[in-house]
Amino acid sequence: MTRMDLRSLQVRLKLPGKPLAQSNPNKSLKPSCKAQASASLEMLAPQLREGTGIRKGKLGERWKEYQGSKNWEGLLDPLEENMRNEILRYGAFVQAAYTSFNFDPSSPSYASCKFSESSMLQLCGLPETGYRVTRNLHATSGIRPPHFLTKRSSYIGYVAVCQDEEEITRLGRRDVVIAYRGTATCLEWLDNLRSMLTQIPNSTLECDMPQPKVESGFYSLYTSQDDTCPSLSEEVIDEVGKILRTSDSTKPLSITITGHSLGAALAVLTACDIRAAFPSSPISITVISFGGPRVGDRLFSQHLENQGIKILRIVNTHDVVTRVPGIVIDDTGVKGHAKLPKWLMTGLQGMPWVYAEVGQELRVSSEDSPYLNPNDFAMCHDLEAYLHLVDGFLSSACPFRATVKRDFLQLLAAQATTVWCKVLPRYMSILYRTMTAGR
C-alpha cells in the first residue's frame, strides 16, 4: 500500500453521516471487543506504519525564529508548516520517553529505562533522527513512601545530542534535546497533589526583593535525591556541563527541553535551572511543552522572561490538566471570571495558590477533530492526541484540515478503548474495498 493510499483513506473517512465525535463516550467495551481492537491493529500495522515518519524541512538561518527568538510571531496562527513539523518532531522525542519506560510494577526493573542509551531511539521508532542519547535522567520523590513502595527514584527522560552533520546543517545549529515523560508512578501522583507554591532558593534576584515561587510537588521531584540516585537537577546540570565543555564554542548550540504533563512542568524548571547554572553561555534555551500544568507565580513567569527563556505551550482547550493547579489572575481579575477590584487583585497575588501562565500558547481543541471525543478526559490529555491535533491545526479561523497527514494508527493504539470503536470499523471497510479493488 502506498503512502498516497493511506492519505486517501484518511480523507475518505470523513464521509457523510453521523459525526464520529458524537458517539456515546460512556459506552464501555467488552473484553472481546478490546481483543478484537488489538488484533485489528496488529493486522493494520504493516500497511500503515510506512506513513508515520517525521517530516522535515530545512530551517537554516531562521532556526532562531523557530526556537522562539521573536516569540513565534507569525508562525503559530496560521501554523507555519516547518513550525508544525518541529513541534511534532519534539513530540516524538517525548513519546520515546514513554515508550522506553518500564510500566510493569511486577518487574524487577520497574520504573527504569527498558533500553540501552545506544539503541533507545531506534527501538522507540526513531532510527533516523541524527541524535544520540547521552544520559538517562531520573526524578526522585521527596515523599517518604510506605513500606510497600520502596523505590523513590524513577526514569523520567533523557538527554540526546544531535551528532549527524546533515541534520545539524538542516537545523542550522547543533541541538540538545532533554525530553520528559508525564506522571507514571504512585509517588509522582502524590507529589503532583502538593500544589502550594514554594520559594525558589538561591534566586539571582536581590535578597530584599520578592522571590519567585513554584509548585511544591514539581520542585520536590526536580531537586530531591536519595542514597542511590542524585537529583534530577544534578543530573541535568552535570550532563549539560559536559556537553558545553566538549562543544565547539564558535558554532551555534541550542537546548530544547520538551515534555508532556508532569514532564512539561519539569521542562520549565529545567530551563530555569540551566540558565542559572550557565549564565554567561550563549546557548539558546527553548521549552516546547504538551498538556502542561501551571508551574509558578507571576514573579516566576517574569523571571523566565528576564532570563531569555522561550516557552511554547501546546494546550488542548478540553484538557483540564492545563487549568490546574490554583487560579490565574491577569489584568481582568481571575482568569475566566468577572473582573476583581484592583485592591483585591493586589492582595491575592501573594497567595500560595495564585499562579501565572508562562511563555506563548498554541491552542488546539479535541472538538475540531472527528476522531476525538472532547468529553473524554483521558483522551484530551493524551500525548498522541495532542500530536494529532497539532498536525491537523491550520489556524483559529480554520482549525482543522481534512487532509491531516499524521497517521492515526498511533492514536488508535494509544486510546484503543475510546477511539477504535468510532473509526476502526469504517477504516477496515474502506481498507478492504481499496485492497480488493480491481481483483
Instruction: Render pLDDT for 197-231 as a digit per residue (tens, 0 to 9).
Output: 999 876 555 666 788 999 999 999 999 998 889 99
pLDDT of 209: 75
Q: Which residues contact 177 (CB under 8 A, 6 or more apart)?
A: 90, 93, 131, 159, 160, 161, 162, 256, 257, 258
More confidently predicted of 176 and 419: 176
Task: Indicate whether 406 belongs to any domain.
Answer: no
381 is catalytic: yes
Q: Write down the mean pLDDT value for the chain.
A: 81
Task: Indicate whether 386 belongs to any domain.
Answer: no
pTM: 0.81
Residue appearing with cell numbers 539571582: 204
Percentage of residues in the chain having pLDDT higher than 70: 72
First-to-last C-alpha distance (Å) of the chain: 15
Query: Which of the residues 175, 191, 273, 319 is marked catalytic?
Result: 319
Cross-strand pairs, 139 = 154
pLDDT of 45: 40
Task: Indicate whether 395 belongs to any domain.
Answer: no
Q: Which of 99, 238, 87 is nearest to 182 (CA)?
A: 99
224 is catalytic: no
Task: Indicate whether 22 belongs to any domain.
Answer: no
| Most confident among 41-50, 143-152, 190-199 (mean pLDDT) | 190-199
Task: Indicate whether 122 belongs to any domain.
Answer: yes
Task: Indicate whether 264 belongs to any domain.
Answer: yes
Helix axis angle for 416-436 and 3-12, nearest 10°, is 120
Number of domains in the chain: 1
Query: Which of the residues 261, 284, 289, 369 is marked catalytic?
Result: 261
Task: Indicate whether 259 belongs to any domain.
Answer: yes
Query: Which of the residues 138, 303, 381, 388 is marked catalytic?
Result: 381
Task: Indicate whether 25 belongs to any domain.
Answer: no
Domain that holds residue 318: 53-364
pLDDT of 334: 56
23 is catalytic: no
Any idea what the CATH number is for the domain that residue 185 is in? 3.40.50.1820
pLDDT in tens, 263-275: 999 999 999 999 9
